[in-house]
Structure 1
């Protein structure tokens, strides 16, 4: 008997995850699958599940797979999945909540430190033969205020790191509960007005798209630093460029962009004050295994329930 198919929108999956899916045939869509590629694979294989690494899973993809029961995110952000369309079709959506929290939080810390300590600029100057000890002063983060937008698994872990280096931690997340006592919950307005560093660790939704924009940046303290390890769509990129050029924002450490892969030339390329990385905050050897295993486990759980006749639900989990 032919095994039911699971499509992975990527070129690989951790061996530990593949081992869990032994009852299914796994079809890989390649490194950068477009919607048309996924539609074609769905029509050819009629998968019971899609594990999402790259690309977007749209209503068109879902309609090409009548047997589809679950769309499982290999990570935490489900903004690349049309969740409303999934709900309409009785398809469950899951995410590997917390699987990459340590990796992303560490990367947020690295970007914040790179901005505060001018790591990239000083490295370039040293390689060019300069010794700027007499003229350069970096920012001391001890005693400064970091404002976190998003207090899920990643945000909480990053908050703990910031507290450990002596920062005051304030945060906004309308869904967070049972927070540690070193996190002061504040309104979003306070994040803009009070923070020396603003770090984004929240999902992208229709309500918070381009929440960092000309208006909110104008309310920030002069010299604020912006860190984004969440989704590029949270930032109006043109407004951020203007704010960095004017000095309103002293530095921006960015791991995600409005369009990915980041188009080249891009307005941030070659600009002083920007530390950029290619959305690899959650890409570590450990996180790769954790996310794969979580995605596989979530997939199997839904498919097992489906076989038992349980009613499907949509469970899109946050970061």
Structure 2
């Protein structure tokens, strides 16, 4: 090490465009799948001034192991893997690359919705097995249907815009969103449960909304609803969703995030044909990788620069 202050990246890499911004710092990588203990050990060894969070969690123990730590910067928009209460108590700022992966995640949500509505996976499997189901199959037409978008940040609003372009009626719930476009009809959750043909989750995971979709709320939904989740797995009671799929209350679900990641093997979801699964890759595109890395680096540097100026 050069003796320069350290940026710790809780992953194995960072986009070259982001690294180009950090030439005044040493960059230390935690590896592809670091544990919380790994991060604590690296903090103790290198005493970073900043942590860029890609994988795993950063809690109080890591913060206490790095007395020089000033900022924790999320490589993405969701900060639920960072103990923000502990950070605040220690004067450590938490920042996020809000909007950097909005296009990628909204596109993944759209892909999951279309795969569910058009039965892409089972039809593909049937075709490969030599079947021709044109006379018996009926897909769901999305034009004229109602989609309930829960969470109206950069990703939720981008998804809502695409849904509107498809001719869907868009209901939106987000108590914090301001200045919504005219095509989003703001409403309460009860209206979404009652009226939505599709529910798409785009909100952060908090103590207040954990298992937002559960046995009670799923029972309140329209029979045959489609569920899409590209946000956080903890927003859904997975056992309740599985039961709703098996009963037909939920027609199909497209999921890109899960309560436990990586998903354990075996998992009850593996045997449910009306589930379309992807391994939390909604924000993983070549473009988003660069956007998130650059934003994470810039956000951290802005905090450090502000603190330096404050001491001048």
TM over 0.5: yes
Query: Equivalent residues in 2 for 1:107-126 (5 A)?
Result: 107-126=108-127
Match of 1:273 in 2: 274
Number of residue pairs matched by the alignment: 310
Q: Deviations over 1:140-191 (max 9, x none)?
A: 0000000000000000100010000100000000000111100000011111
Q: Deviations over 1:87-146 (max 9, x none)?
A: 000000000000000000000000000000000111111111111111110100000000
Match of 1:6 in 2: 7
Query: Equivalent residues in 2 for 1:134-213 (5 A)?
Result: 134-213=135-214
Match of 1:26 in 2: 27
Shift of the alpha carbon at 1:309? 2.4
Cα distance in structure 2, aligned partners of 1:2 and 1:38: 20
Higher relative contact order (CA 8 A, sep 6+): 1
Q: Secondary structure at the match of 2:300?
A: helix
Cα distance in structure 2, aligned partners of 1:59 and 1:118: 45
Q: Deviations over 1:216-275 (max 9, x none)?
A: 000000000000000000000000000000000000000000000111111110211100
Please give the root-mean-square deviation of Cα atoms over the aligned residues, in Å: 0.7
Match of 2:93 in 1: 92
Match of 2:231 in 1: 230
Cα distance in structure 1, aligned partners of 2:194 and 2:144: 16
Match of 2:105 in 1: 104
Cα distance in structure 2, aligned partners of 1:88 and 1:185: 35
Q: Secondary structure at the match of 2:301?
A: helix
Structure 2, unpaired ranges of 5+: none
Match of 2:302 in 1: 301
Alignment TM-score, normalising by the size of structure 2: 0.98
Match of 1:313 in 2: none
Match of 2:219 in 1: 218
Alignment TM-score, normalising by the size of structure 1: 0.96
Cα distance in structure 2, aligned partners of 1:265 and 1:185: 40
Match of 2:247 in 1: 246
